[in-house]
Chain A
Amino acid sequence: MLNARRPNPPSARPSRRTILAGAGALVVAFRVDPKSARAATGPNLADVKAQPNAFVRIGADDTVTVVIKHLDMGQGNTTGLATILADELGADWKQVRTEFAPADAKLYNNSLMGPIQGTGGSTAVANSWFQLRKAGAAAREMLMAEAAFRWKAPVSEITVAEGVVRHAPSGRQARFGELAASAATLPVPTEPRLKDPGEWRLIGQTVPRLDSVAKTDGTAVYSLDIRRPGQVTAVVARAPRFGATVKAFDAAAARRVAGVVDVVQVPTGVAVLARDTWSAMKGREALAVTWDDSTAETRSSEAILAEYRERAKGPGLTASGRGDPQAALKGAAKVIEAEFTFPYLAHAAMEPLNATIERAADGGYDVYAGFQFQTVEQATMAAILGVTPDRVRLHSNWAGGSFGRRATPTADYLAEAATVLKASGEKTPVHLVWTREDDMAGGYYRPTVLHRVRAGIDGKGAVVGWDHVMVGKSIMIGSPFEAMIVKNGIDATTVEGASDTPYALPAYRFGVHNAREGVPVLWWRSVGHSHTAHVMEVMIDELAHAADVDPVAYRLSLLTQAPRLAGVLRLAADKAGWSAKPQDQGRGLGVAVHESFGSYVAMVADVTAQDAGIRVNRIVAAVDVGVPVNPDVIRAQVEGAVGFALSSVLRNRITLKDGRVQERNFDAYAPTRMSEMPKVEVHIVPSRTAPTGIGEPGVPVLGPAIANAVFAATGRRLRSLPLDLSGVKGA
C-alpha cells in the first residue's frame, strides 16, 4: 500500500515513480546513466544508450529472481549476471534464482549492440556491469527505506547483508520477503550508491553456478525438450548445394510412412511433419526431391581457396596502414614471406538447431528456442507471419551450446520454423528439428580465409616492415548490420585482431579482399580473431627466431605501449616455466598472446610432436578481464576454450566437393575427446578495471601457441590450420 509519509530511499527522486509492481514482489525499473555505463566499457565500443530496465524481483518467500537478458549457451552468464546484482543488493547467494527475459529491446537491449537485444562478442558481463549493479543497489535502498520507515530509524543506520536488513542500534531485523511488497511502492532511486570493491561479498569470489543442479539431474529444459500439446515434429529436406531451390518433389512415399502427418514446401526445401522425430526422419528419407542448381554454389573448397590465392596477389582495400612497408622491406636484412590458409568450420554445438512455434488463441505466436538475437529473430518471424513483432513472444531456454551459430542476421532456422508453421496451416504447434547432419552441412560457417604476409627485420632483428593481405568472405556485408559495421568496404569483424595489431610495427599495411562465394558464413567463437591472431602470433614467432631473440622477450619489446598484454604474457611465461624449457626429444613450448573483445589472454603450450602426431600436454593461460566477477567461471571458460578449439587446431575442416559439404557428423568432423584434453592451468590477473568478457578470448591464442610449440619441438614451421605434420604443406 502506498504510504505518503514513508521516506524516500536515500538517492530517490520522488518525481520518478517508475515502479513495475508485482503481487507481493519488488520489481525494479530504472535508467542506466549513460556516462557511467560508457566508462565501464573503455574505448572502441559503441555508445551506450539510456534505456529503462527491469532486472530483479523479490518475492514474499525471500527469493531474489534476477532477470537474465542474455542467452546462456554454457558460458555461465546467468551466474555472472546474478552475482553482480545480488552483491549490490546484499542478497544471500542461496536465495538467488534466475529467469530468462522475454524479447523486449526497450528493456533488455545489449547496450554494446545499440538498440538490439542479443548475445555475442563476449559482452554479457561488460554491458551489464553498471546496469545490474544499479538495479541491485536501487532495490537495496528501497528495502532500507522501507525498514527505516517501519522502525522509525534513520536510513543511515540500516544495513543489508546476506539477505537480512538490520538496524543494529535497536536490534531489529527483517528478511527481504517481509519488506518487499511495501518497498515496491517507493520511488526507485535513480542514482543509488554503488558499493566500493572492498564491500563486495560475491563479486570476485567463487560462488556455485546456478545451473549445476538442473544440468546434472536431467531437469534443465533446452528447446529440444519442449513438448507442447499436440505438437508435431518437422524435419526439412534442404538442397545439398547452397543456393539451390526445389524444382519438383514427390511426397507420395513419404506420406505413406507411419506417423507422417503432412508434407509441405517451404522456401528452404520440403518439410515433413510427423508425430515424432524418428517418423519425420523416415518420412524425409522417402521423399524424392529434384533441385534446381542454376543459382547454387557448385565449386569445391579447394577451387575457392585457389581463387583467393590469385586475388591475394593484389593489394586489396586498405584496412589500416602506416609508413611504406614495401619500401621498408626492400632494405630489410631478412624477409619472411608466408601464406596461411584456414578452412570453413562448423560450430557443431551439441544441441542441434531447433525451435517450437505455435499460434496462440489470441492470434499471436509463441516460440520456444535458445534465442541469441531476440530483436532480429522476433522481427523476422513477425514479417513471415504477418503480425507486428510484439505479437511474437519469445520463450528462452537453456541453449546446448552455440559458439555463435544461434545468432544469425537472417534468423535462419527460426525463420524456417515460421515458414513451416505457416505452410502447415498453423493447426498444431510445430517443433522444427535439424538433425546433426542438417546442422553440420547447413552452412553459416566460420569463413575460409587466406592470409599472405611479407615481414622483414633489420640486421639487429628489429621489425622494419609488414605487408599483409587477406582474402575472405565478410560476415556483415549483405546483412542488416552492413551499414552499421562495414566502413569503406572493410568489415571490422573480418580484420579485427590484425588490422589493429598492438605490436609496434613501424611500416605496416593490412589489405583485404572481400570474397563473395555462395557459402553462408557466420561468426564462430572469437570471429575474426579465430584466424587473425593465429597469423600475427605465428609470424611474430618466426621473426623472433629469425632475429635469434627469445619469443617472449621479442614480443615484450614490441608491446611497450600495451601493458595489459605484456602483463598476461609475463604471467603465463612465468607460471609455465618458460625459462626452463623441456629438453626432451620432440617436446617444446610455444607462446601466444592476444587481445579480443577487450580481454587479454596469453597461453603457453607444452607439446610433444613426433612423426605425424601432435600431443598437447599442458596449457598455461593468463587472463586479464578486468574485475574477475566469477573467477571459477572464468577458469572454466578458458579450459573450455582449449577443449573447444583444440580439434580445430588439429583436424577440423568443412570441405565442399562440387558444392556439396563432405563432413556431416562427428565421425568426419571430430571434436576433441577426453583422452586428448591437455591439463589446463588458468591464472587470473587481479584487477579493478570494469569487467570484460571471457566466452571467446581463450580461443584465438590456442592455435598459434601450439603451432609455435611444434616449431620449438621439431624445427618445422606449420602455418595453416588445421596443423598438418604429415605433409610438407606450410613447412
Chain B
Amino acid sequence: MPNLTVNGVTHAIDADPDMPLLWVLRDRLDATGTKYGCGIAQCGACTVHLDGQPVRACQTRLGDVGTAQVTTIEGVSGRVAEAVQAAWRRLDVVQCGYCQSGQIMSAIGLLSGNARPSDADIDGAMDGNICRCGTYQRIRAAIHEAARSLA
C-alpha cells in the first residue's frame, strides 16, 4: 500500500498505483482544493507542488510520487505563498475562482525560482493555466505585485 505525504502528513493509500494523484487527493483524502478541469494536462486547475515544483496532478500517477512531498493549496505556506495570496486578495483577482488554486500554485512556483519575472516569464509560467472567466490581466498584475512585496 503506497504511502503519500501531503502537506506534511503521511497517509497510507489503498488505491491502484495508476490512480492519478488528482483523484487520490480529491476522492481518498477529501483534499478538494485541488480541482479537476480537463484530465489531460491542458488547463492546470489540478496544479500541486511535488518537492516544491509545480506539476499537474491529473498526469501524476500515485505510484510515481514515491517519497516526494506533495503540497496542495490547503497546505502551501511560506513568504512567497503569503505574498501571492495577499496580492490575489488585494487585487480581487478571482471571479468563479475554480481555476485559482492551480493559478496560485503555478504563480508560487514561478516566484520561488524567479524573484522578478518579466511579462514574458509570466506568459511562459502561466500559459498552461486556463481561466475561463478571463482574469489573466489581474493574475499578471498580482504576480508583479507579489514580486514587489517580496523585494
Cβ-defined contact, A219 with B33, below 8 A: yes
Additional A-B contact list (17), CB under 8 Å, known A401-B133, A637-B95? A74-B94, A216-B89, A217-B85, A224-B35, A227-B30, A348-B132, A350-B35, A350-B99, A351-B96, A436-B40, A640-B95, A643-B131, A665-B39, A673-B136, A674-B136, A677-B134, A677-B140
Q: How far is the CB of A99 from chain B (nearest CB, A)?
A: 17
- Interfacial chain B residues near A642, Cβ < 8 Å: 134
How many of chain B's residues touch chain A, expressed as a range?
35 or more
Give 16 CB contacts A-B under 8 Å. A212-B93, A215-B97, A216-B89, A217-B85, A276-B27, A350-B43, A351-B98, A400-B96, A400-B98, A636-B95, A639-B134, A643-B135, A666-B37, A666-B42, A667-B40, A677-B134
Cβ-defined contact, A276 with B99, below 8 A: no
- In the complex with contacts A401-B132, A639-B138, A680-B137, A74-B43 CB distance below 8 A: no
Cβ-defined contact, A639 with B135, below 8 A: yes
Q: How far is the CB of A383 from chain B (nearest CB, A)?
A: 30
Q: How far is the CB of A675 from chain B (nearest CB, A)?
A: 4
Tell me the residues in window 604-654 of chain A with beta carbons closer than 8 Å to chain B beta carbons: 632-633, 636-637, 639-644, 646
Q: Cβ of B26 < 8 Å from any Cβ of A?
A: yes
Q: How far is the CB of A647 from chain B (nearest CB, A)?
A: 9
A400 to B46, CA, bound (A): 14
Cβ-defined contact, A643 with B96, below 8 A: no
Cβ-defined contact, A644 with B133, below 8 A: yes
Which residues of A are interface residues toward B (Cβ below 8 A)?
Answer: 73-76, 208-209, 211-222, 224-225, 227, 233, 258, 275-278, 348-352, 398-401, 403, 435-436, 632-633, 636-637, 639-644, 646, 665-667, 670-675, 677, 679-680
Which residues of B are interface residues toward A (Cβ below 8 A)?
Answer: 15-16, 19-20, 23, 26-28, 30, 32-40, 42-43, 45, 72-74, 85, 88-89, 92-101, 104, 122-123, 126-127, 129-140
Name A212's contact: one of B19, B30, B94, B129 (CB within 8 Å): B94
Cβ-defined contact, A224 with B32, below 8 A: yes
Q: How far is the CB of B86 from chain A (nearest CB, A)?
A: 9
Cβ-defined contact, A640 with B35, below 8 A: no
- In the complex with contacts A398-B97, A400-B97, A679-B137 CB distance below 8 A: yes
Count CB-based A-B contacts (< 8 Å). Answer: 174
- In the complex with contacts A74-B133, A351-B35, A642-B134, A216-B96 CB distance below 8 A: no
- Interfacial chain B residues near A646, Cβ < 8 Å: 134
Q: How far is the CB of B85 from chain A (nearest CB, A)?
A: 5
Which one of A218, A227, A435 has the highest number of Cβ atoms from chain B below 10 Å of its Cβ?
A218
A671 to B128, CA, bound (A): 11
Q: How far is the CB of B55 from chain A (nearest CB, A)?
A: 17
Name B89's contact: one of A212, A349, A643 (CB within 8 Å): A212
Cβ-defined contact, B27 with A218, below 8 A: no
A401 to B101, CA, bound (A): 15
Which one of A233, A398, A643 has the highest number of Cβ atoms from chain B below 10 Å of its Cβ?
A643
Name A640's contact: one of B30, B32, B37, B135 (CB within 8 Å): B135
Cβ-defined contact, A436 with B20, below 8 A: no
Cβ-defined contact, B135 with A666, below 8 A: no
- Interfacial chain A residues near B20, Cβ < 8 Å: 278
Cβ-defined contact, A666 with B89, below 8 A: no
- Interfacial chain A residues near B98, Cβ < 8 Å: 222, 349-351, 400-401
